[in-house]
Each structure stands twice: as structure tokens, then as C-alpha cells.
Structure 1
């Protein structure tokens, strides 16, 4: 008898046993459509819902972008363009402002589904199911509507692979009785992040490791092997250099590098979630971390002191609740937190001016017909003292990207 296909709501080209090993708490959409009893319990953490309803949000869906033949798995924004990646390895680029949307131009394709996209200056960097990271650059700017892109690098680079090939010290054990050079990911690269100054690229993988790459020449500088006990699904970096990794082992780990240390070391392990951690986002000042998991909750963590002058790790202060299925993606912009879920909806949360003010769910955006897998958001300058607007882009398993405009104002 053949191997059974994966039964989770997110197509991942894995067998059922492989998928459940990485995502043991995700149930099939069919098995949970009529009841929540089979879903993981919510963490016993108080909800953060004390912010008074002193704000209004007007929202409308400006466009629905269709062109991908497989589900949309990742998004990235540049100043002028929206980049979308799909589970069948295709990357497309769209102008950010409607009504110019059509079907999007194809940037290129790797050999595996696109798990993550980030912008670095004039380059687009993509992470793939085939264990590779690819760097794309515009090579023909003659027409804004028909820009040509070229893959200018694949990580690890040829030089990295060659220099590590002949040294016995370069090999690490990746599975029982199997070794590989430390510069290679050996499973899907699930998430990418860029340092505040743009000098470093961070990659996380289902192989339980994360790696650091120098962006000037894309040399692999460091690899933290066996960073988690299971697949790493998300990685984010704060502006002050803390690295956060979220894993299917239900843990979030905090990493940092001291000036006198050559490698990142573990600062703290955050363990309040009851199931696989799927998404992370960090506030612009780096003092608040948001984590979303299969347990349907978004936990809010705030920086605390370790008894000295330096703030070193996070402590949970509460949870944002409202989604009825797994949290799949998070995004932060200004004082807004946006979440996408397997329940097919997006939620817009606003943080109060003071910590004690809590949070409020300003809006629930509905329109997708399948789980919301990825988010991107940009905030426009305030047009008055009482409000501002932002653009939100959401990618879904329904093969589409929706473009939303939000207008947030005080009552």
C-alpha cells in the first residue's frame, strides 16, 4: 500500500506521517468544519481586550489578484511593487497601486514552492521547498510593466560549497548516518529575515537549523544546528539584533550575539503555546513580540529585564483571541497587528497608547474562500491628527491575493 498523502489544510507535498511529525496539531479542514472539539485548547493566558472602542476602521477590498495556478504562499513589498510566491515555485510581480493590476508578470521560478520572500535594496530573495535560497535582480528596466528579472545567486553559493567540500570539519550530522556540509539546508527553507542595516540575511528551515548569510557576497557566516526539536516555521529579527525562532515543537527561542562572542547563543525559551508555532512578528521598536500558533491564539510578549541594565528576553502578557482555527501569518505596522488564519479571515488589532490600555480588534476582513497563508502591510502618512490609512495584501490557499485599504480614525 502506498504512503498516505498529507491531511493538513496546507498542501505541503509531504506524506501524512511526515506532515504530522512537523504539524501534529493541525487537523484536516473537513474534520474541523463543524466542531472545534478536535482543535487544541487555548493557552490559559488572559485575553488582552481592555482597549475601549475609541477607534473606527473603514475597510474595503480594492482588488482580487488572480494569476497563480497554485496557492499563494508568500508576499513581499518594495516601494513600487508587490511580489507574490506560490506553492508551485512561481514568483510574480504586480504594481502596488490599482487599477493597474492585471495578471502580474512572472519574475521566475525555482524548483520548489516559494516559502518566503524578502526585499533587500534592489534585490528580491526567495526561500524554497527545494532547500535553496535564490537572489533575483532586475536586469531590464526599459518598461515598468515588463521588467526582466534574473536569478543572480543561489545559496549556498558555488564558492561556499567548494570551500567546505574537502574539509572534514565542515560536515555535520543532519540525520542518522547522514552528514552534509554545514552551509546547506537539508529541508525546506521556511522563513527569511534581514537585519536592520541590511548586512545580514537569516534563514530558518524545517531541518531545525537557522543560518546567517553576509549580504555583500552571500557567504554563509554561521549555522545553528538543532536549534529546535522540530521544524522551524518562522524567524524574525528585532532592530537591536535579537533573533526569534518559532517551531513546530511549540517553542519560541530567543538568540543574541554579544560583542565578544563569535556565534549566536540562546537567551531564552518561550513555552506558553500548546501547539506548533506558525508565525512571528516583532514591533518596530523591538520591545513586543507576537506569535501565532495552531492553538488559535496570538500571544503577546514584552521585553523584560534580567535584573541588570540590559533587557534580554520576553515575558508573555496576554493573548489576542477571536480566530477559530490555526493562526498562519502575522504582520505589524505602526500600532496595528494583522493576523491571517485557517478560518479564512484576517483580523486587525490595535494596541493602546499605554501598556495597560490593552488591544482591540478593529475589524474582521472576510472574502477569501480558503485559509489565509501570508500577509504584507504598508502604512501611509497620517492625513490628519486623528487617523491614518494603510494598504493590506493577503495571500490565500484560494489561489488569490486580495488588496485591502484600511482607514483608522479616532472616534
Structure 2
């Protein structure tokens, strides 16, 4: 009987440990870093800055030890010579490409499950820097050569690009992290005063990973969304926290977009899409944001996964593209008072990312491994599916489009498209604004 009771106690204890959900974020982060090693040859990760370095305000530059990448199909391969060309393909040894952002002079910044931010120039490796925290969920380029990196711990780290010679890779220096140290100390004293123990009631910073970021049209404010159901607003002039929106989304904020006369859009995994209006009063130093309209409500069971705000100079109006979990892309026009959206349906799985070219093209990446190229034929006409890129062997995580770095005065307008997927590959494409294939029109 004693042995039987001991066996039942052991089995019940094993069942409790098997179904126990209490796993700390530090353990999860260690598991991710173990499975996605940073440095080859078993080197130890670079140590973080000390508290003395942070309090002294000294700028920190951490060297980047490159993780293994393999070049594949370098030199180009014509898939459809009339529309797009694959210029290069690079494959990671560990982990997938999580996020990216394209800058000037052919520069591209990519983040992954490791701590490194890789820098590419015209499709070739060009350096990088170590962010000493990973994985990364979003990268954003700001004014004055600032690079914003959203990390797993909920903080937003700001890096500054230093001027170097044209032949040398750029150097990046970590200048600060949002929230600032004084805001963290203020929140710590406030929490001790009112005896708050729940992490999701933090005031100044995100208590869970920051998943998306965007800048206002005048590049004065930074908007960030997180899985803690909150959207926060920061002022870049003095790096001050301005406002937080907590009670509107019941699930994590998956995408944010800003523009079109002080408008801000936030999409959530609960299926809601909210339009905000930024109100700036001369008497008040800090602006306020008010909820103007629900473009999608929680009654719609389809989560919002990606947002893109495009301003058309010809029509002098804005267009909002929203990628959904069911594979559709909804398009609202400012001229129609943000009502009666157009549905673009071609993907079979959720839309993971959206991007626009300097011209009229719009790109949508999906978990089905395809990238669709859309174009509106006229200011009032519907969108048409130009072509489909299907070279990734797995979900597409992120895409970015910029102007072509080669001059092309004689031929049609071209642009460069970067794409990163869960197949651990980074691809560079040259897209030509060719005529529409009749067999690949949107449905």
C-alpha cells in the first residue's frame, strides 16, 4: 500500500509539472538563445553594459560577431524576365529572419532570433552591430540616423549611425533605451507606494514583447504596440513617454500605422482596428489621442496581422491596407471616409507583412510562402494582381521595398524588394512595373 501511494504521489506530481504553465520569460529566452546560437565555435555571448555605464550616460558600442550565413544563387536568376528577377539569396544556419527595414543608399537592416542586427548594402553583407538582447520583433529607421529596435524584453533600444568613410562599414552606437532610466526608477517607487504586483499594470514600459512600431508623419512621435494589449506613445524630442492606450484592445496589438493628418491606426489580434486622432493644443505640452472610429470591431473573428498606410499624391488621399489572419487584404480610402473597404483575396493563409514601393505597387507576404504584387490601375479603380513570387519554402516573415540602386532611364520603372522567411533565407528581388498578366488577376 505504501508503494502504491508513493507511485500515485509521483504520478500526480509528474502530471502537475507536465501541465504547469508557470515558465518564466528568462527561461524561454535562454531556450531561444540556446537553440539559436549567436557565435560560431562555441564562443560566449558578449556581456551586457554594466549599471555604471548606463548611469554615467556613456555611449556604448558593442562589436558584432557574425553568425553563419551562406550565399546561394548569388548573381541573379530570371524567374519571370518581364516582371521580376531574383538577384541574391542568403541562408542562415540558425533561426529565421524576423524583421527588416530598408534605408537609403541600398542599406538593409535585418533582425533575427539572435542578438545581432545585420546590415546589408545592395544585397551584400555590409556589417552589423550587437543588440545584446534578442529575439527582435521590429526595426524602424528614425530621424538623425537613428535605428529603433524592439526586443523581447519589451524595451525599445535606440542606436545611432556614425559617419565613416564610404569604403568602410558604418558604426553604430547605443545611445539609450526606452523607457529612460529615470522613468524606470519613477515607476519602481510608484509601484512600491501603491503595492502593485501585477506586471501588466506597468505605466512607462511594455511588460511583454514589443511587436510593432511606427513614426508619425512629421517624425516627432513614436508609436509602439505590444502583446500586453497596449499602445504607447513617445516623444522623440526629449525621449519622453506621453500616453498609453490600455482599455481599447482585449488582445495584443499586432500592427500600428500613422500618417494622413495626425491619424494613427492600431490593429489587434482580437479583430479590432481603431483609428485615432492626435490632438495638439498649444496650451498643453503633451498631445492627446482620441478614438475616432472603429474600422473593424471585435465582433469580426479575424485578427489583424499587418497594417500599411499609403499616401497618394495624385489623388491627394490616403489608403490603409490591413492584412488579416484569413489571408485577405482590406483596403480603405480616405476619400470614402474610411468606409466600404475593398477586399484583395489570393493568399491561402494569414498575411504576415505589407510593404509599398516608391511607385504604385503594394506587396503582401503570407504564411503560405507567397508574395503578391498589387497595383491600382486608376485612382478610383480596383486593385489588380500583377504577379506572384513563390520562391520561399515556408512562411514569409517580413518584406521591404526601396528604389532601385541602378539607373534605368530607358526602361520601365523598377524597385528592389527584400524578403525574409521562416526558411532562414533572405532574398533580394528586382521588380519591374510590367503589364498585368491576364491569368493572374486578383479575385
Please give the TM-score of this superposition, normalised by the length of structure 2.
0.72
Q: What residue number does 2:211 align with?
A: 190
Name the Cα RMSD after superposition.
Answer: 3.1
Match of 1:263 among 275, 281, 288: 288
Q: How far, CA to CA, are the matches of 1:369 and 1:210 in structure 2?
A: 33
Is it true that 1:375 corresponds to 2:399 in the alignment? yes
Report matched runs for 1:137-286 at 5 Å: 137-139=160-162, 141-142=164-165, 144-167=167-190, 177-178=198-199, 180-260=201-281, 262-271=287-296, 274-285=301-312
Q: What residue number does 2:57 align with?
A: none
Q: CA offset at residue 76 of structure 1?
A: 0.8
Q: How far, CA to CA, are the matches of 1:360 and 1:4 in structure 2?
A: 50
Contact kept in structure 1, 2:97 and 2:420, CA below 8 Å: yes
Contact kept in structure 2, 1:89 and 1:112, CA below 8 Å: yes
Q: CA offset at residue 182 of structure 1?
A: 1.1
Report matched runs for 1:81-100 at 5 Å: 81-95=107-121, 97-98=122-123
Report matched runs for 1:69-80 at 5 Å: 69-80=94-105
Please, which moves more after superposition, 216-225 or 201-210?
Answer: 216-225
SS of 1:244's equivalent in the other structure is strand
SS of 1:162's equivalent in the other structure is helix
Report matched runs for 1:25-44 at 5 Å: none
Is it true that 1:113 corresponds to 2:139 in the alignment? no
Contact kept in structure 1, 2:98 and 2:112, CA below 8 Å: yes
Contact kept in structure 1, 2:386 and 2:435, CA below 8 Å: no
Is it true that 1:396 corresponds to 2:417 in the alignment? no
Contact kept in structure 2, 1:108 and 1:149, CA below 8 Å: no
Q: How far, CA to CA, are the matches of 1:172 and 1:186 in structure 2?
A: 17
Query: Cα 1:136–1:303, aligned 2, differ >3 Å: closer, same or farther?
Result: same
Q: CA offset at residue 141 of structure 1?
A: 2.2
SS of 2:368's equivalent in the other structure is coil
Q: CA offset at residue 72 of structure 1?
A: 0.8
Report matched runs for 1:2-41 at 5 Å: 2-3=18-19
Contact kept in structure 2, 1:172 and 1:181, CA below 8 Å: no
Contact kept in structure 1, 2:199 and 2:207, CA below 8 Å: no
Contact kept in structure 2, 1:192 and 1:204, CA below 8 Å: yes
Structure number with higher helix proportion: 2
Q: How far, CA to CA, are the matches of 2:103 and 2:86 in structure 1?
A: 20
**1 or 2 for the larger relative contact order (CA 8 Å, sep ≥6)?**
1
Contact kept in structure 1, 2:264 and 2:278, CA below 8 Å: no
How many residues are matched? 351
Query: Cα 1:58–1:221, aligned 2, differ >3 Å: closer, same or farther?
Result: same
Contact kept in structure 1, 2:163 and 2:170, CA below 8 Å: yes
Q: How far, CA to CA, are the matches of 1:140 and 1:126 in structure 2?
A: 20
Query: Cα 1:72–1:3, aligned 2, differ >3 Å: closer, same or farther?
Result: farther
Q: CA offset at residue 203 of structure 1?
A: 0.7
Please give the TM-score of this superposition, normalised by the length of structure 1.
0.77
Q: What residue number does 2:388 align with?
A: 364
Query: Cα 1:159–1:388, aligned 2, differ >3 Å: closer, same or farther?
Result: same
SS of 2:346's equivalent in the other structure is coil
Q: CA offset at residue 168 of structure 1?
A: 6.6
Q: What residue number does 1:308 align with?
A: none
Is it true that 1:408 corresponds to 2:433 in the alignment? yes
Query: Cα 1:169–1:211, aligned 2, differ >3 Å: closer, same or farther?
Result: farther
